[in-house]
Chains A and B, each alone.
Chain A
Amino acid sequence: MRRLQLAAFRSLFTALVALAALMGPAQAELKITIDQGNANPLPIAVVNFFGESAQEQKLGTDIADVITNNLRRTGLFYPIDQRAFIDRLPNFDVTPRFTDWRIIKADALVTGRIVLQADGKLVAQFRLWDTFAEEYVFGQEVTNELAEGWRRVAHQISDLIYQRLTGEIGYFDTRVVFVEERGPKTNRVKRLVVMDQDGYNPTYLSDGKHLVLTPRYSPVEDVIVYMSYRSGVPRVYLRDVASGLEEVVGDFPGMTFAPRFSPDGKQVIFSLDDNGNSEVYTMDLRTRAVKRLTFNPAIDTSPSFSPDGRRVIFNSDRGGSQQLYVMGSDGSNVARISFGQGKYATPVWSPRGDLIAFTKIYEGRFYIGVMRPDGSNERLLTESFLDEGPTWSPNGRVLMFFRQEPTRADGKGGSVRLWSVDITGYNERPVPTAADASDPAWSPRISDYAHVRR
């Protein structure tokens, strides 16, 4: 009986499997899905760029240093200490001994050469190598009219390497404008400063005699807009950074923050306060025509355009607490997107369009966070006593903001500094500045606006 059952079961099973075999391919290639990885930084070796003369060699070393520093600061790369290098390359034109680079665990290798031409031009060539594939990946030449422009050359090369290895457009060839603060709390001297994104090459744009506030960079030009009390009343100024030329945009009594540019740089968007009721406006920078977008008895403030210019994110307490709202750029279709606990402030739309950065205040702590434009996926990236005023790197990968420490009972402490954080929430780092600094605003890539410089 048992045997019979087993036999019946066997034939049934055989038939089923035969059917399955008929339906499926006879021999399918093994397929494996890898959906787990790690966010370990990519080990990379940057060799000092070669040069003939002592000056070229010095530049080669300095440029390699800047590239190394840039890549390290991203948190995505792990530059290997040069002292570990085994392969002492004799010159720029040899193919590296890849095994030597794999021994020190370098996945990528950068070599380069500096040539100072007779006309004073600085020419830098570099090559990127893949040590595991044992392949030349790509190479390029970057020039600058002056040897003094070597830092910018290093940033441009960093951008190219970063872009090839991460797919993202680089953000090293950029600048940051901010408010430098010196002196005691009661008598703060605030000056506008523009510096390279890594903290070098600071340039003062104002002398500190008058209060300056909230500079913002144009997304398409080397132009900033900021507020100053130079004439006794708060006024909004446009300034061409390179030439120093300025013009007054207008008097806006009741304006508490400088405007932000539209993505094309032709308009600004801002809020004006009229007896406790602030509303959102835009202004065309050529015609100076002002248009009101919000009509609500509640406070509507901190507007920022989406990168396509079609929508505006702002904050409002029309729902009872200060939350984030999105509307069309003509003021239509207002919709609340934030529903978390606490208050939301200073929303800024990512230049990549995929995220909105904001400051969140919850139970006395400050956070910098991001969420999608529909309000989903809220993620808090930083937390401190006071974090505020996020600004996006032009590639939408990194946020810079300012952080204030609490003032101690003896009146000390309370310093304000610039910080940056990756949108993943990792890699929170201070940005070096000579003194206290607040209100950073990131410039577009210099190579993107250099040709439209006016």
Chain B
Amino acid sequence: MRTGVTVSGLLHVGAFVLMVVPLPFLMHDRAAEMAPLPPVVDIVTVDEMTNIAAAAPAPEPTPEPEAAKAPEPPPPAPEPARVVAAATPEPEEFLPEPEAMPKEEPPAAPVKMAAVPKAKPKPPKTPAKPAQPPKKQESYLDRVAALLDKMPREDQPAEQAEDAKKASASEAITLRTPVGKANALTLSEIDAIRAQMARCWSFPAGAAYAEELVVHVRVAFNPDGSLSGRPQILDTLKYQTGDTYFRAAADSAVRALLRCQPFTLPPEKYDSWQSVEFTFDPRYLLGR
């Protein structure tokens, strides 16, 4: 009985001491013991989260060098003619010396539009593009399957999982039908473009009727992120019918695109951004 009480008392005291005294010194060894364990880190890129990505082989840029190059040769010829016409003020506005100007213009003129395509040579693009017909043979099903196949299974050793992944990827490439979204830009990549444009797009603040000034522009890109031609304003009718506010807004959008190039875009996803439709919406900018 007495011993019981003593033992009980000692144990209680011991328990109390354990509770009150900070115990890092007790834990220290164990902590040191645990430290060496490598943390299990799965490195996941954003696109894996935001995209339903294709298996490894997919990121080849789309070939079609013919298609991309085809439009190039024609421009130089018609352009100079247009430049001369453009550089000469509208006849009804400029009365004197209409013939003097064309005379002067030609030497300088070809620089104009011709320079745009010239400035962005396609050559770098060509070598990087071994045509890959099999790539086109994909579908959503493939990519989903590929993605799922990539998931390691717990009951499989790592090597096996790796093999399975490779196998299913190649299977996906060879067996199924085409699809295009494999290389879609991630949200953060799109945000990067938006941030870049925000620095380049100066809009005359305070313009009236901001809701009327939403501009749609189609842009064709070279693989290096430069523009492969003049941005095309899609609201052509509105642009041409003489709404000065809209014309100024559209011009500011085009100017921003021209000024902002080259864009930093992932080259491996070129086929998803070689043509982009931009919507310039000044409503938020104008606070209305």
- Checking B104, B185, B259 against A107 with a beta-carbon cut-off of 8 angstroms, the contacting residue is B259
Find out whether the CB atom of A115 lies under 8 angstroms from the CB atom of B96: yes
Asked if A37 meets B185 with Cβ closer than 8 Å, knowing A107-B255, A141-B93, the reply is no
Find out whether the CB atom of B276 lies under 8 angstroms from the CB atom of A38: no
Asked if A26 meets B245 with Cβ closer than 8 Å, knowing A35-B283, A36-B284, A36-B285, the reply is no
**Which residues of chain B are within 8 angstroms of A40 by Cβ–Cβ distance?**
202
Find out whether the CB atom of B113 lies under 8 angstroms from the CB atom of A140: no
List which A117-168 residues lie within 8 A (CB) of chain B.
Answer: 123, 125, 127, 130, 132-136, 138-141, 163-168
Which of B193, B202, B256, B279 counts the most A-chain CB atoms under 10 A from its CB? Answer: B202
Asked whether A29 is an interface residue with its Cβ less than 8 Å from the other chain, the reply is yes
Asked if A21 meets B197 with Cβ closer than 8 Å, knowing A29-B276, A29-B277, A125-B94, the reply is no
Find out whether the CB atom of B112 lies under 8 angstroms from the CB atom of A95: yes
Asked whether A239 is an interface residue with its Cβ less than 8 Å from the other chain, the reply is no
**Which residues of chain A are within 8 angstroms of B246 by Cβ–Cβ distance?**
167
Minimum-distance CB pairs A-B, first 6: A27-B180, A167-B248, A95-B108, A139-B89, A167-B245, A37-B201
Q: Which candidate, A6-14, A229-237, A432-440, is the interface stretch facing chain B?
A: A6-14
Find out whether the CB atom of A3 lies under 8 angstroms from the CB atom of B202: no
Asked if A32 meets B190 with Cβ closer than 8 Å, knowing A3-B153, A14-B141, A93-B100, the reply is yes
Find out whether the CB atom of B245 lies under 8 angstroms from the CB atom of A168: yes
Find out whether the CB atom of A36 lies under 8 angstroms from the CB atom of B194: yes
- Checking B93, B115, B244 against A167 with a beta-carbon cut-off of 8 angstroms, the contacting residue is B244
Interface size on B, residues (CB 8 A): 83
Listed in ascending order, the chain B residues whose CB lies under 8 Å from chain A are 52, 83, 86-87, 89-90, 93-96, 100-101, 103-105, 108-109, 111-113, 115-116, 139-141, 144-145, 148, 151, 153-155, 178-181, 184-185, 190, 193-195, 197-199, 201-208, 218, 230, 243-249, 251, 253-256, 258-259, 272-273, 275-285, 288
Find out whether the CB atom of A3 lies under 8 angstroms from the CB atom of B155: yes
Minimal Cβ-Cβ distance residue in A for B274: A30
Minimal Cβ-Cβ distance residue in B for A350: B208
Asked whether A336 is an interface residue with its Cβ less than 8 Å from the other chain, the reply is no
The minimal Cβ–Cβ distance linking B199 to chain A, given in whole angstroms, is 7
Asked whether A248 is an interface residue with its Cβ less than 8 Å from the other chain, the reply is no
Find out whether the CB atom of B276 lies under 8 angstroms from the CB atom of A164: no
**Which residues of chain B are within 8 angstroms of A96 by Cβ–Cβ distance?**
108
Minimal Cβ-Cβ distance residue in B for A134: B112
- Checking B86, B116, B153, B273 against A30 with a beta-carbon cut-off of 8 angstroms, the contacting residue is B273
Q: State in angstroms the CA–CA spacing of A163 and B181 once bound together.
A: 43
Q: State in angstroms the CA–CA spacing of A274 and B55 once bound together.
A: 87
Q: State in angstroms the CA–CA spacing of A217 and B251 once bound together.
A: 35
**Which residues of chain A are within 8 angstroms of B288 by Cβ–Cβ distance?**
377
List which A20-51 residues lie within 8 A (CB) of chain B.
Answer: 20-21, 26-42
Listed in ascending order, the chain A residues whose CB lies under 8 Å from chain B are 2-3, 6, 10, 13-14, 17-18, 20-21, 26-42, 76, 91, 93-98, 107, 115, 123, 125, 127, 130, 132-136, 138-141, 163-169, 352, 354, 377, 396-397, 422-424, 426
Asked if A31 meets B279 with Cβ closer than 8 Å, knowing A21-B179, A132-B255, A163-B244, the reply is yes
Asked if A136 meets B87 with Cβ closer than 8 Å, knowing A30-B277, A32-B194, the reply is yes
The minimal Cβ–Cβ distance linking A131 to chain B, given in whole angstroms, is 9
The minimal Cβ–Cβ distance linking A172 to chain B, given in whole angstroms, is 15
Minimal Cβ-Cβ distance residue in A for B154: A2
The minimal Cβ–Cβ distance linking B3 to chain A, given in whole angstroms, is 54
- Checking B95, B230, B249 against A133 with a beta-carbon cut-off of 8 angstroms, the contacting residue is B230
> What would 28 A/B residue contacts be, using CB atoms closer than 8 Å?
A13-B144, A18-B144, A26-B178, A30-B184, A31-B277, A32-B190, A32-B193, A32-B194, A34-B198, A34-B253, A34-B256, A35-B285, A36-B198, A37-B201, A38-B202, A40-B202, A91-B104, A93-B103, A94-B104, A94-B108, A97-B111, A125-B89, A134-B113, A135-B86, A168-B244, A168-B245, A422-B205, A422-B206
**Which residues of chain B are within 8 angstroms of A41 by Cβ–Cβ distance?**
202
- Checking A27, A34, A134, A165 against B115 with a beta-carbon cut-off of 8 angstroms, the contacting residue is A134
